[in-house]
Structure formats: structure tokens, C-alpha cells
Structure 1
Amino acid sequence: MAGEQSQADQYGTAAADVPKGKKRFIPLENNPEVMSTLLHKLGLSPALQFHDVFSIDDADLLAFVPRPAYALLLVFPVSQTYEKFRYEEDLHKSDYEGSGEGEKVVWYKQTIGNACGLIGLLHGVSNGPARDHVQGDSELDKLIKKAVTLKPVARAELLENTQALETAHQEAANLGDTTAPSTTDEVDLHYVCFVKDRADGHLWEMDGRRKGPLNRGSLGAEDDVLSEAALKLGVRAFLKREEEAGGGELRFSLIVLAEGFD
């Protein structure tokens, strides 16, 4: 069923398009506690946490998710359908070269192997209201402020060379419920982050494997990234493509960044 997620999908990464010989991380487990711990260590306020979204079709289950939702992470196995769509959509696009405070969103190019989970997390906290919850002068605050001034290639190098980021990631990767893979393992799952910009209220698909951020359309002032309007522009559009291609069982997971229950 399109709206039900597989809870077996634990790790998200994609080897494609990451330069050979570059730095590689241990894949992060797709676990809200792991994700929250990593970002809290870097400097995100403990007031925000990640939460599982067990269904996007069951209103009763959705009601358990705190709102507003600041960022939505979609985790899915990379399929031929997705790769074909990605190639065709990016074919005539230029590489994104944005930087500075005038950017609608802050986008990170992925050059670290097995780091698509980390890139997704950074997209979630570098954009929208979540950015206001980054504690001043923390490692995360300094990283984002520096990244904003840089163009994507230099941003990617900043991530590669930030020791605090690598240390926090390594510690978080060993916190999961299952034995963590090694840095050399190839795992076919990938993370994509959806955020709402504060300039125009548009939904953006943020994926470090793409040529840049993808504007998926306008949202109402009352719509967050888990609203039906946002799901239609983002997650449901992805699911529809996969289902129409007849790829068999559709496996995916969702976690959302929102206020904690405490």
C-alpha cells in the first residue's frame, strides 16, 4: 500500500555520483533517536527531535506526530525508475551555484560516500524554522554560517574537512539497534529531505546527488512539510512514479523533524 512504510529499511545511502577515492562514512541507521542524538551533539536545540511517521494515509497515526513538521526525510531503495527520472529531470539543468544570504534554501552537494543520511539532516536544519533552533556558537551554527558564504563545491569540501561533523557522525552510527555496516559497504537505500523555505513558502526537495535544490511548488501559509499539499508535491509524487513503473513491493520510510513530546 502506497501510504505504509517498511520498518525493515534501516540504512540509507547511495554510492552513485560520489567521487571515487573520497572520504566515506559508516551509513547512519534510519532511526529517529540516532538522528536526534547526532544533531543535538552538533548543536541543535533538544526541543526538536525526529519522529517516525508510520503512515501518510491513516489520520489517527498522523495525529501522533507533533506539528508543525519542519523537515521530512524520505528513505527508499534506489530503483531503475528513480534513476531514470533523476537523469531525465537533471539532464538539461545547470549545476547549482548559489550562495549567500539571498539563497532561497541552503543546499549541500554530497561528495562523502555513505553520507546521504547526514546530508539529509543538514538540509533539514539549515533551512526553514528549524534553523532558528540551532544553538548559537555551536559546531552546527558555525558550520551553517560558514556554508552559507560558500558555493556548493566549497561547501562540500567544508563538510569533508569538518572534524566535529565526522566525529559526531561516527558516534551516532554506532548507536543504532542493528550492527552498523562498514565504510566500504554499498547499501542501496537513499535519503531525500523536504523543507519549506521561509522566503516564498515553497516546498523544496533536497538531495545531494542532484544538480541542486528542486522547487516542487508553492504551499499555503498553513501548510507544513507533512501537510497533504506538501505530500502531494513530494512523497506521493515519488510513490506514484514507482507504482506506475510496476516495480513490485514499494518500500520506504519517513521520519520528521518537529518539537519533542517532553
Structure 2
Amino acid sequence: MSETRRKYYIPLESNPEVFTELIHTLGLSPELEFTDVLSLDDPDLINMMPRPVLALILAFPAIGQHYRKSLEEQNRDMNIYTGSGEDEDVIWYKQTIGNACGLYAILHSISNGPARDFITPDSPFARVLATITPLAPEERALALEASAEVEEAHLHAGKSGVTTAPDPEDDVDHHYMAFVKSHRNGRIYHLDGMRRGPVDTGVTLAQGEDVFNEGGRKLVEELIALQDDVGFSLMALVKTGD
């Protein structure tokens, strides 16, 4: 997490309204929105969740020693991902923009699974996705850095939270990652731009299941249990129901 960055963005507030505004600015259909997940184990609250859940974004304290150790160990055991093109099981973005982990979690959420069907043609994100899909991870990262449309949309979202926006190069103590469904094999992937590539969790979704099924909730619970701090928040990408 100490990698030198070529540029920095204002960190996104962990706020469904901020995340929803950003995906709409990028060109996702107004039929999609982010909402808070209130429980992973209370049956009544789980049943109240809008379904299907297209992706989950977890925000957690990134400064904990357990997190740092886990990230270092898992990266050491992973091969560096080199995938590209339409045959990828998931679209993965290497994080090269400082304090932009919220953006990467959003991009992972809307680049994969059923959310792809809600990208408005010729929108900013449709153009970004068309540009980056054929590229290997390093070139993909550079192309994302070069997108003025993404940078402008993120700048506006970064300033639109309830709390005062920090400086782009300030140290932040939270990190975002996403759980998404592959649009090719139906499995749940853990996508984090700080890792060396996408992580296939091995959880396969049956016909009609979404990432908030029992297997998906268990993945989030297991990740939370590995950390040494509190302050987690979880958001779900869902249809608005309008």
C-alpha cells in the first residue's frame, strides 16, 4: 500500500448516495443504485434487501496489521495476472491511482456480471470499457488514469459527501473491495485492485442466485473475521424497483 502513485483522487465517502451518483454520471442506467446492507445474519433484514444484488462493496479499516499481513501473504502466493480481452472470466483493474479504491470497487462492480447489461451505450463508461477490455492490466491501468471523463466524474463525487472532502494525498484508513458474479462462469470473485489479480472464491451461484446468497454472505463474514479492527460497512448494487 506504499506504492508510488502517479496521481491521486479524493477518497470517496462510504455513502450509497455518493456511489450511486458516480455510476449514473459514468453512464449506468438509473435503474441501478447502491444501498446499505444492514445485516449479514438477521433473517428479517436479509429478507428486506432488494434483490437481485448485482455486486457487494465492502469498506473496512485498511491499516490493521492483520490486513497488511494478509495482503502481503496472498500477493506473495499469487501469480501476477496478465489476462485481457473478451475471454476473461472477470474484468479486473490494477489500482494505480492513490486513494481511489472506491472507484476501483465501483468499476469492478459495474464491469462484471449482470450490471454490464445496464451500461448506457456511448456513455463515458461504455467508452472506457471498450477501450480497456482488450488491454493487459498495466496498459489498462494507464488507460484508466488517462480518462478525463472518469477523473471529472470522480472529482465531483469525491466532493459530494456529507463529510468534508480530504486532500487527495491524505492518508486514509479505509479500503474498498468488491464481490461480483462472473458474467462467464457464474462464480463469485473477490476483486481488489491492491492484489495481484482477481480471486476466484470457488463459490458457484446456481440459476437465479445472486451474490447476496448464503455463500456470498459467508465470504464477507470470513473476510471481516480476519481483520483486527471495527468500522466495516457494506453496500449492495441493486435495482431501484421503480
Q: Please give the alpha-carbon distance, in whole angstroms, between the structure 1 residues aligned to 2:178 and 2:116.
A: 15
Choose which of 63, 66, 69 in structure 1 pairs with 2:53. Answer: 69
- What amino acid is aligned across from residue 217 of structure 2 in structure 1? L
2:29 is aligned to 45
Q: Please give the alpha-carbon distance, in whole angstroms, between the structure 2 residues aligned to 1:250 and 1:74.
A: 13
- Is the counterpart of residue 119 in structure 1 residue 104 in structure 2? yes
1:34 is aligned to 18
Q: Please give the alpha-carbon distance, in whole angstroms, between the structure 2 residues aligned to 1:202 and 1:107.
A: 15
Map Cα deviations across residues 34-80 of structure 1 (whole Å, 9 max, x no partner): 11111101100000000011111112222222111001000000111
Choose which of 215, 219, 225 in structure 2 pairs with 1:240. Answer: 225
Map Cα deviations across residues 12-49 of structure 1 (whole Å, 9 max, x no partner): xxxx14424x1100001111111111110110000000
Q: Please give the alpha-carbon distance, in whole angstroms, between the structure 2 residues aligned to 1:199 and 1:17.
A: 34
1:55 is aligned to 39
Per the TM alignment, residue 258 of structure 1 is displaced from its structure 2 partner at its CA by: 0.7
1:10 is aligned to none
Q: Please give the alpha-carbon distance, in whole angstroms, between the structure 1 residues aligned to 2:98 and 2:83.
A: 23
Partner of 1:51: helix, strand, or coil? strand
User: Residues 119 and 126 of structure 2 are in contact (CA less than 8 Å); yes or no, is this contact kept in structure 1?
Assistant: yes
User: Residues 223 and 229 of structure 1 are in contact (CA less than 8 Å); yes or no, is this contact kept in structure 2?
Assistant: no
- Is the counterpart of residue 99 in structure 1 residue 84 in structure 2? yes
Choose which of 216, 239, 242 in structure 2 pairs with 1:230. Answer: 216
Partner of 1:198: helix, strand, or coil? coil
- Is the counterpart of residue 256 in structure 1 residue 213 in structure 2? no
- What amino acid is aligned across from residue 230 of structure 2 in structure 1? L
More displaced stretch, 71-80 vs 83-92: 83-92
Q: Please give the alpha-carbon distance, in whole angstroms, between the structure 2 residues aligned to 1:33 and 1:105.
A: 26
Percent of paired sites with the same residue: 45
2:68 is aligned to 83
What's the C-alpha RMSD, in Å, of the aligned pairs? 1.2
Structure 1 residue runs of 4+, over 3 Å off?
Answer: none
- What amino acid is aligned across from residue 12 of structure 2 in structure 1? L
- What amino acid is aligned across from residue 145 of structure 2 in structure 1? E
Change (3 A) 1:72 1:260: same
Map Cα deviations across residues 219-254 of structure 1 (whole Å, 9 max, x no partner): 23232111111122x211112223xxxx3x522000
More displaced stretch, 87-96 vs 147-156: 87-96
Map Cα deviations across residues 74-108 of structure 1 (whole Å, 9 max, x no partner): 00001111111121122132210000000000000
Choose which of 197, 201, 218 in structure 1 pairs with 2:186. Answer: 201
**TM-score normalised to the size of structure 1?**
0.88
Question: Unmatched 5+ residue regions in structure 1?
Answer: 1-15
Choose which of 186, 197, 205 in structure 2 pairs with 1:220. Answer: 205
- Is the counterpart of residue 161 in structure 1 residue 143 in structure 2? no
1:23 is aligned to 7
- What amino acid is aligned across from residue 128 of structure 2 in structure 1? L
Q: Please give the alpha-carbon distance, in whole angstroms, between the structure 2 residues aligned to 1:96 and 1:31.
A: 31
Question: Unmatched 5+ residue regions in structure 2?
Answer: none
User: Residues 40 and 221 of structure 2 are in contact (CA less than 8 Å); yes or no, is this contact kept in structure 1?
Assistant: no
Q: Please give the alpha-carbon distance, in whole angstroms, between the structure 1 residues aligned to 2:164 and 2:189.
A: 33
Choose which of 181, 188, 197 in structure 1 pairs with 2:166. Answer: 181
Per the TM alignment, residue 208 of structure 1 is displaced from its structure 2 partner at its CA by: 0.3
- What amino acid is aligned across from residue 192 of structure 2 in structure 1? D
